[in-house]
Amino acid sequence: MKATRTLAAVIAAGALISGCASSPSYNNGGYASGGYATGPGYNNSASMGYGTIESIQATQADARTSGAGAIVGGLVGALAGNQVGSGSGRTAATVAGGVAGAAIGNKVEANRAATGGQEMYQVNIRMDNGEYRTVVQDSVYDLRVGNRVRLVDGRVYRY
């Protein structure tokens, strides 16, 4: 009977924790690696075009968590909480340990992601048709401000 309650508490804690995990939303101005900026003045309908680079800025990629840290932390916390007390107190300790472990695991994963952020480059382009596009990519190679460029599938190339 105790094993059934413990298993039920661990499963409930896991379900609670996985419900809190989320996928990356890329809510950083509307663009992710290799994507176009969106918003007023930006057209992201075409995948190819020609233009001139107006500016290039180095940025840090946003640190995102996958939720794995929260899940592993929740399971470890639930197992640790299960060692405390007996009866309904043990169940409460298991659930509390799972929730606390999930919070700690998510924070640890976020700290690791933040320290390993990749440098990205935001390239602002004035297209030949007068539109402005912003592309974020991992390198600029030999691109410079004022270069004529070709935009193909979210990447900028010299023309």
Which amino acid is it at 157? Y
Contact 126, 6 (CB under 8 A): no
Q: Could you tell me where in the chain the CATH 2.40.50 domains are found? A: 38-61+118-159
Is the CATH code 2.40.50 the one for domain 38-61+118-159? Answer: yes
CB environment 72-102: b (16+ within 10 A), e (fewer): bbbbbbbbebbeeeeeeebbebbbebbbbbb
Question: How far is it, in rounded angstroms, from Cα 4 to Cα 6?
Answer: 5
pLDDT tens over the chain, length 159 residues:
566 666 566 566 555 555 554 444 443 344 444 444 444 444 444 468 999 999 999 887 666 677 888 888 888 888 888 888 788 888 888 888 888 888 898 888 877 766 666 788 999 999 999 999 999 888 888 899 999 999 998 899 998
